[in-house]
Amino acid sequence: MKQLLSLLLVLSMVLTMGAAFAEDDTTFTVACVRWTEVWGTDFTETAFLKEISEKTGVTIEWQPYWNGNWGDQKSLMLATGLSAMPDAFFGSISLTDADIVPNTDFFVELTDLIPQYMPNLSAIFEKDPEMKALCQDADGKIWSLPKKLPMRPITANEMYINKVWLDELSLPMPTTYTELADTLEAFSKSGEGRYGYIAASSLQFDLNNLLLPFGVQVSRAGNMMGMDAEGKPVFVPMTENYKAAVAWARDLYERGALDPEYFTQTSDMVRAKVQDTEAGPRTGIVFAWTADAELLGNAKDYVVAEAVAGPDGNRYVESDPTFLNYGKNEFVITKNCKNPGKLLEWADQFYTDEASLQTYYGSIGDGKIAKNEDGTYEVLLPDAESGINLDTSCWTFSFRDHGPKYMNQEFESKVILPTTEGDGIKLADDAVNAQYARPTFPVVAYTPDELDQIGFLSPEVLSYVNQQYAHWVTEGGVDEEWDAYIDQLNKMGVNDLVQIHLDAYARYIGE
Amino acid sequence: MSEMTIRNRNNHIRKSRADRIFDFIIYGVAALLTLLALYPMYFILIASISDPNLVAKGDVLLFPRNMSLDGYAYLLSMDNLWGGYGNTILYTLAGTAIMLVVNIPVAYSLSRKDLAGRGFFTFFFLFPMFFGGGLIPTFIILNNTFHMVDTFWVMVLPFSVISYYIVVARTFFQTSLPAELWDAAQIDGCGNLRYFFQVVLPLSKAILAVIALWAAVGHWNSYFNAMIYLRTPARFPLQLVMRNILINNEMAATAMTGSAAAELNRKANLIKYGAIVVSSLPIMTMYPFVQKYFNQGVMIGALKG
């Protein structure tokens, strides 16, 4: 009996010691959300992560989640509280402002910790105040770490036009919005199953692409806010420019320049039509990040078009570098974390030029990037055997768009990208239209009350605006019904909604 | 009833014109309903071996077009598919066994009129059929109290009491085992336990088979609990693996820019229908074996209840 007792004692001691080891304060659990399981978990085993682990003495236990399930899992986590949470969240698709702002009790405020533990990031804040401004909340507190993506274009989507059809019909490249309309109509009439423009319309997308010659670009944040000719923020769906743009789209639809299924088909059906290699691509134009992203094998028929001139003679191109290249919520620490300073020291390693290069394209130590003796860096194409393209390789072997990173402008000239794939193509296409980029409505921060109000007002307003757009394009009547439309929007409280965005903008400018 | 009358009459008297029209309509409607039920399954089968672009355009209706087995080849080459299969089989076997062990004795006890507090216990087990605690409290209990989240057990232990199974099995026991049988067994000196194992269970194979089938199909098809309560990919069941590939790839393709998105979308379309075939076929092959019990068992339980 005595022996058994002592054995038990020893056992329990060993067990408690084991538990103590497991909870040492240099091991952290970090949740990160990934777009898809197809890319696996190689991104947690990269040479870069091993290097910074060794350098800082920090061990990370990654908890990957997948975006399709994350919405449910996240709400459960936030409802359950800290007991269900990891030490930190990595990447801006894990938590958004709507998750962080009302729940700051769960998270560690980083405002005073950054100067203490993060020399690299502090230097960046000094050099590029935008980085600091964007991660501060309405009270100037910092809850998350920011990012700026490297090697990014100034423009967002470009217009790609079917050069084969242009040549076949001996048409010139359209240079104004009226010429564009004529060209699209000619495309539609040139053969069975061909259309000027095939897409699954959404107002948000159309405003930033097809209707862009009318100067109606809206923020990618989905609030339909844009800038007028004087550079003042406006709610675009109530402007005269928007009215003219809708009338033009109606004209296109009536003349058969748009696919008759423009408002009814799904994006799957569109892809099936434009990626069909047997019958040819069927669409005259597409708006895309790069032609191959939308058209796959058919991309070779298309060339990037210079933006066409609108009614005011200006050329417009979608450009939202702040939204597309800068970001916050890339790293958020919860109160489960016993040693936030140490974890921040680890995170600070992401804020160097070489680190940002490697967390974006893959590690030098894994052979994804070659470091040349003259100080340049060459991003290498994946092996032909692997059967994946460069963009997929980047998402598989690095964090790509997610996570903290910052590359200085000077460093970008040292990076050599392949010109045949991915970012290299985008940068070349970007050069055609970058000169037409204009400032757009920035990413602004809202208070918890404002977020509540937006959540309450905007679904009804935006859904009405979207419905009216589809109605006017397919059935006409924008001129006659415009006043009633404005009245209805006013009744729905659109002014309160817009005022919230304007207030947030004023605070943003003030900073 | 009407069908019986028609057949009996058929043997003796020539059918009247009205009867023939009636038959025609009945058989016509039955055939139509059968087709309606079969066509979606047939469509999935032909869509899984057709060119995904043609399927998306709506060009595949009756026959496969541009046949290729690329989708299946890709599916079968995925490591996590086989892992998922293994997990699903494990969860289904263990989960079904636990469900039988938990639900059948409860159902039998409730079927006995001499059970003390029978009314209370019946209410106790029936109440959750109509009112549940909700997702968040359940998650909090499983996570904070039982520390079961992301373990094997969370997939088989919680949620194993199903009131509906208990009701059906209880009704079966009540109606198919006469009280006299228990009296006779008692006279021969048989106790409760022995009676349950040596008399009740062998006489109730039909209901055991039915409950087992329901439980197995339920476990096989479920993804939601796995999605909520599991974190480690190596523990994911097949349905969750499939869902992740399809849903995530489609969401990524709409939200992302760049050619990685186009590639994901192509893959998702390629395996969309093949995934359904691969994941449903094994459980569908179970039906023929339990079908005879299925008709018998459920009818007995439901009709005389």
Structure confidence by residue, pLDDT tens digits, B133-142: 888 889 989 9
Interface with chain B: mutation pick from A44, A65, A69, highest number of B CBs within 10 Å? A69
Instruction: Point out which residues pair with A14 in neighbouring strands.
Output: none
- DSSP-derived secondary structure letter, A304: E
Residues B248 and B100 in one domain: yes
Q: How many CB atoms lie within 10 A of CB B100?
A: 17
* A83 contacts B259? CB cut-off 8 A: no
Percent of chain B predicted with pLDDT > 70: 92
B246 versus A472: the higher-pLDDT residue is A472
Architecture of domain A158-318+440-510: 3-Layer(aba) Sandwich (3.40)
Position of tokens 């094997």?
A: B152
Classify domain A22-152+323-413 by CATH architecture.
3-Layer(aba) Sandwich (3.40)
| Tens digit of each residue's pLDDT (9 = 90 or more) over B83-95 | 899 999 999 999 9
pLDDT of res. A54? 94
Question: A90 CB contacts (<8 Å, ≥6 apart)?
Answer: A30, A31, A32, A330, A331, A399, A402, A403
Least CB-CB distance to B248: which of A36, A84, A290?
A36
CA distances from A432 to A95, A159, A188, A213 (A): 35, 11, 26, 16
Q: What is the pTM of this model?
A: 0.78
CA angle centred on B130, ends B126 and B131, rounded to 5°: 105
Do B35 and B165 sit in the same domain of this protein? no
Mutate to test the interface with A, among B140, B147, B248, B259 (most CBs of A within 10 A): B259
Give the domain-ending residue among B68, B97, B118.
B68
Residues 55-74 of B with CB under 8 A from A: 55-58
What pLDDT score does A334 carry?
96
Mean of per-residue pLDDT scores for chain B: 85
Residues A188/A191/A194/A195 CA torsion (nearest 10 deg) = 0
Query: B280-293 burial, b for 16+ CB within 10 Å, e for fewer?
Result: eeebeeeeeebeeb
pLDDT tens-digit readout, B281-292: 888 888 787 777
Mean pLDDT: which of B5-9, B188-192, B241-245, B291-295 is highest?
B188-192
B143 and B279 within one domain: yes
Interval B198-213: pLDDT, tens: 989 988 888 898 899 8
Structure tokens at B1: 């009833």
Written as six digits, the tokens of A276 are: 């069909």
B252 in reach of chain A (CB within 8 A): yes
How many domains would you assign to chain B? 2
Chain B neighbors of A69, CB-CB under 8 A: 227, 243-244, 247
Closest Cα partner for A473 from A207, A286, A227? A207
8 Å CB contact between B46 and B60:
yes
Would the ipTM clear 0.95, i.e. be above it? no
pLDDT given for residue A22 in this prediction:
47
Q: Please state, in angstroms and as integers, the Cα–Cα distance from residue A330 to each residue in A89, A447, A511, following that order.
A: 8, 19, 21
pLDDT at position A6: 58
From CA A268, how far away is CA A256, in angstroms rounded?
22
- Nearest Cα to Cα of residue A87 among A106, A110, A66: A106
Q: How far apart are CA A488 and CA A224, in angstroms?
A: 17
Residue A221 is predicted with a pLDDT of: 86
Tell me the average pLDDT across B169-186. Answer: 89
Classify strands A88-90 and A27-34 as parallel, antiparallel or unpaired: parallel
pLDDT at residue A315, rounded to an integer:
95
pLDDT at A280: 82
**pLDDT at position B298:** 54
What's chain A's length in residues? 511
pLDDT for residue A3: 57
Please tell me whether residues B220 and B191 are part of one structural domain. yes
Considering only CB atoms, B267 lies closest to which of A38, A267, A426, namely A38
Give the distance from residue B126's alpha carbon to the nearest chain A alpha carbon, in angstroms: 27
Q: Rounded to whole angstroms, how far apart are CA atoms B108 and B118?
A: 11
From CA B287, how far away is CA B294, in angstroms rounded?
9
| Co-location of B32 and B82 in the same domain | no
Q: Report domain extents, chain A.
A: 22-152+323-413, 158-318+440-510
Per-residue pLDDT of chain A (511 residues; tens, 9 = 90+): 555 555 555 555 444 444 444 456 889 999 999 888 788 888 999 999 999 999 999 999 999 998 888 988 999 899 888 988 999 999 999 998 889 988 999 999 999 999 999 999 999 999 988 899 888 888 889 999 999 999 999 999 999 999 999 999 999 999 999 999 999 999 999 988 899 999 988 899 999 999 999 999 999 888 999 999 888 999 999 999 999 999 999 999 999 999 999 999 888 788 888 888 777 888 999 999 888 888 888 888 999 999 999 999 999 999 988 888 888 899 999 999 999 999 999 999 999 999 999 999 999 999 999 999 999 999 999 887 777 888 889 999 999 999 999 999 899 999 999 988 878 888 999 999 999 999 899 888 888 899 889 999 999 999 999 999 999 999 999 999 999 999 999 999 999 999 999 999 998 887 6
Tell me which residue of A153, A425, A478, A157 sits closest to A316, measured CA to CA.
Answer: A157
Asked if residue B224 and residue B80 are part of one domain, the reply reads yes
Side-chain-facing half-sphere of A308: CA atoms under 13 Å: 24
Question: Count of CB contacts below 8 A, A vs B?
Answer: 119
Which residue range forms the structural domain that includes residue B155?
73-303
Helix-then-strand count for chain B, H and E:
17, 0
Q: What is the pLDDT of residue B88?
A: 94
Which of B35, B68, B101 is the last residue before a domain boundary?
B68
Maximum Cα–Cα distance for chain B, whole Å?
80
| Judgement on whether residues B278 and B152 belong to the same structural domain of the protein | yes
In this predicted structure, the answer to whether residue B59 has a pLDDT above a threshold of 90 is no
CB contact under 8 A, B56 and A79: no
One domain for residues B101 and B159: yes
Q: Residue A124: which of A348, A280, A284 has the closest Cα? A: A348
B210-241 pLDDT tens trace: 899 889 999 999 999 999 999 888 899 999 98
Chain B residues inside the 8 Å CB shell of A156 = 257
CATH of residue B297: 1.10.3720.10
In terms of domains, do B247 and B200 share one? Answer: yes
B136 to chain A: nearest residue by CA?
Answer: A76
Among residues A144, A129, A259, A239, the alpha carbon closest in space to that of A193 is found at A259
Verify that B297 and B281 share a domain, yes or no.
yes
User: Would you call B264 an interface residue with chain A, using a CB distance cutoff of 8 Å?
Assistant: yes
| pLDDT in the model for residue A442 | 87
Nearest chain B Cα to A61, which residue? Answer: B232
Yes or no, beta carbons of A275 and B269 under 8 Å apart: no
